[in-house]
A and B are shown apart, each in its own frame.
Chain A
Amino acid sequence: MPDAPMFAARAHIALRDIRLQAAVRNVTGQMVDGRRRALTDLTDPEGVREIARAIRYRSVERLPDLLDHWATNLEARGGQVHWATDAGEAVAAVRGIVRRRGARLVVKGKSMASEEIHLNEALEADGVEVLETDLGEYIIQLAHEPPAHIIVPAIHKDRNDVAALFTTDAGRPIPPDIPAEAAYARARLRNAFLTADVGISGVNFAVADTGSICLVTNEGNGRMVSSVPPVHIAIMGMERIVASWAELDVMLALLARSATGQRLTSYTNVITGPRQEGELDGPEELHVIVLDAGRVGILGSEFREVLDCIRCGACLNVCPVYRHVGGHAYGSVYPGPIGAVLTPLLRPDESESRELAHASSLCGACVEVCPVGIPLVDMLLGLRRRDAADIGPVKRAGFSAWSALWSSRLGFASTRIAAKAVLPLARHARGGPGWAGAWLQTRTLPGGPRRRATGGRKGRR
């Protein structure tokens, strides 16, 4: 672990937050149950997952061709594609459109990719008002916080928190009653949809054979931002593509089931271009920003399967670490197991992001539920291995000595005897200075064997 364990510091705060603990447990528990139930709809869920995995793998393998084909088809429908190699270019593309349109108000649907590029801050610096319209995103925007879960951004806020935020926003009392809070958000944001100059959304899937983008939402804000304002801008991680509507069918059979336990979300929206000739509403302009921002470095690496991810969030919900510390402890756009892998890969130069690979017990629950079979545990180990390449000569020598010692039977036995003597004392080092104290902070040592094992036979009976 790095010497300044930022994750550990944030995790500590989270672990003391009893309300956060209860909220995360409640939400993730419901989602885990929902997913399990929903997958029983399928005759052969494992088979469908294997097919989905093959589809995603092949899509990433053919990414250059698929993107080319998709863009050609989208342009033929009047859509415009902007190619952004980094966050700066993506932000510049959006700002350019917003400026050209003289836009004052931008309404946003949920988009993790836009969080990656810190779009809101950039637009606000230009004097543009940016409103998040997903209920959870609106709540955390008012709280000036980042999302705490891919699917449920305000997972850590309860109705009292929301009432306080909405009361300030409204300038009149909004009661801590969920229907009243939702009604306030609906009314507040409705006028924004109708008067906004630009709508911004994410993209769940691009579909190459028609140049389409697919948006999956429950509240309807994704339909609003893509239908009502005169300009729709969609921001898409470059790997989010499938070849055909038949492949989309397979992915959709798994996405909502894995994410929320729904068969489909309330609105599964396939958009193919801006308003077409003869159509009577819809945006005049459709722009899709294709975002690389560090993905290209993953493409030819041993981690390339992480690009198969469809952002369902199932790995968060089953992760014992995520379930204890919630999303903010990760300090990254993508939390949980997928975030622990993706973040250090997208931001290889940030030492803080590299410690996330250690925020895992390697239990493998994430791999069990991943709809596209991403080997997250192997990848976490791969990242740790990569980091271990520069641990410094002292630690390296120490681990070499340990390895040599345990390679012999006698050496191993001697450490057992030593452990018996030292373990009870070592527990007192918890919270103490140095790396031993830090290591022990999150680990419980066994007291050493109390009596000699008596063999398996007795217990059998």
Chain B
Amino acid sequence: MTDKEVFISRLRHAAAVRVVPPRRALVAVDAVPPRVEFAIDTEGVDVFEAALSAVGGTVHRAADLVAARAVVGEVIGTRSPVVLGCEPDVAALELEGQRWPHCGLRAAAEAAVTVVGCVAMVAVTGSVVVDARLARGRSISLLPPVCVVVARSSQLVASPGDVLRHREDFWPGRVPSQVVFITGPSRSADIEMTLTRGVHGPGELHVVVVDG
């Protein structure tokens, strides 16, 4: 028997020794449990903005990519170096900076600002969802102290379940090796419960929501 078979057969044996019913009756739950319903608003960019602002992120609106370019330029200001993600909407902004992934991990680690795309925005939580698919990478949205995410208003969903329960819509066939719900800047309250931003991940998170 393999280690796995030995381990699992021990569990089967232990569980079978004595079948203990729950102390209180369980509610009947289907294989797919019911959706989580929210008492708060779940629709619209305003809801997303309120949720993200509440956790210290900043939302900017742009009517089109031209306006987005101006907004992102303003956020970047004089900060450099800038590393740019490989998503088409980021490329379309035609910003000055090093291109991920060609610039390499070190460049991402030394960048002052990163500009990336996303898979979805989640209204209730104020999250942006990024993934490691192909060239998108795991580290680019993590290493620099300032992260700018370019999103489309059409990418907005109501709740985390709209992504988690519709995996096939976002990643047909197979999920990437990493999917991250980013909900605000990196934070810690480990010293005296006092909120500190940017402990390891970005201390500033900007989401530029482009109409369309």
Contact = CB atoms under 8 A, between A and B. Distances in A.
B105 interface: yes
B33 A250 contact: yes
Interface stretch (B68-76, B134-142, B150-158): B134-142
B178 interface: yes
Interface of A: 23, 26-27, 30, 40-44, 47-48, 50-51, 53-55, 57-58, 61, 63-64, 67-68, 71, 77, 81-83, 85, 133-136, 139, 152-154, 157-159, 162, 178-179, 181-182, 185-186, 189-190, 193-194, 210, 212, 218-221, 223-224, 226-228, 238, 243-250, 252-253, 260, 262-276, 278-282, 290, 292, 296-297, 299-302, 304-305, 373, 375, 378
Given A64-B15, A249-B36, A136 B190 contact: yes
A282 B143 CA distance: 13
Nearest to A212: B175
B182 A266 contact: yes
Of B16, B20, B31, most A-chain CB atoms within 10 Å: B20
A282 B199 CA distance: 21
A373 B184 CA distance: 30
A157 B189 CA distance: 12
A281 B32 contact: no
Given A178-B191, A281-B137, A301-B20, A219 B101 contact: no
A249 B160 contact: yes
Contacts of A223: 138, 142, 180, 200-201
A54 B29 contact: yes
Interface residues of B, number: 84
Contacts of B24: 373, 375
A220 B186 contact: yes
Nearest to B195: A178
Contacts of B138: 223, 226-228, 281-282
B4 A296 contact: no
Contact of B191 (A48, A82, A139, A260): A139
Contacts of B160: 249, 252-253, 264, 268
Contact of A269 (B101, B164, B180, B200): B180
Contacts of A228: 105, 138-139, 143
B15 A61 contact: yes
Given A54-B27, A154-B191, A43 B38 contact: yes
Contacts of A182: 188, 191, 196, 198-199
21 contacts: A30-B193, A54-B26, A159-B191, A182-B199, A185-B199, A194-B105, A210-B175, A223-B200, A224-B200, A228-B139, A245-B164, A247-B33, A249-B161, A249-B164, A268-B180, A269-B178, A272-B177, A273-B177, A275-B177, A279-B137, A281-B139
A181 B191 contact: yes
A260 to B, nearest CB: 8
Contact of B40 (A41, A85, A135, A299): A41
B178 A272 contact: yes
Interface stretch (B58-66, B87-95, B124-132): B124-132
Contacts of A158: 191-192
B15 A299 contact: yes
B192 A304 contact: no
A374 B7 CA distance: 26
A279 B132 contact: yes
Nearest to A158: B192
Interface in B66-108: 101, 105-106
Given A159-B191, A247-B33, 10 more contacts: A41-B39, A68-B4, A159-B192, A227-B138, A228-B138, A245-B167, A249-B35, A267-B182, A271-B177, A273-B177
Contacts of A136: 188, 190-191
Contacts of A53: 26-27
Which A-B residue pairs are the 5 nearest by beta carbons? A220-B201, A136-B190, A83-B7, A227-B138, A220-B200
A372 to B, nearest CB: 11
Given A218-B188, A275-B177, A296-B11, A262 B200 contact: no
Contacts of A27: 193
A27 B194 CA distance: 10
A23 B192 contact: yes
A440 B205 CA distance: 56
A244 B30 CA distance: 12
A290 B7 contact: yes
A214 to B, nearest CB: 9
Nearest to B42: A41
A43 B37 contact: yes
Contacts of A43: 37-39
Interface string B154-181: 0000001100110100000011111111
Nearest to B178: A271
A265 B183 contact: yes
A244 B51 CA distance: 27
Contact of B188 (A42, A135, A292): A135
A276 B178 CA distance: 10
Of B32, B142, B201, most A-chain CB atoms within 10 Å: B201
A316 to B, nearest CB: 14
B33 A246 contact: yes
B39 A282 contact: no
A42 B38 contact: yes
B94 to A, nearest CB: 22
B165 A249 contact: yes
A276 to B, nearest CB: 5
A182 B192 CA distance: 12
A263 B124 contact: yes
A178 B180 contact: no
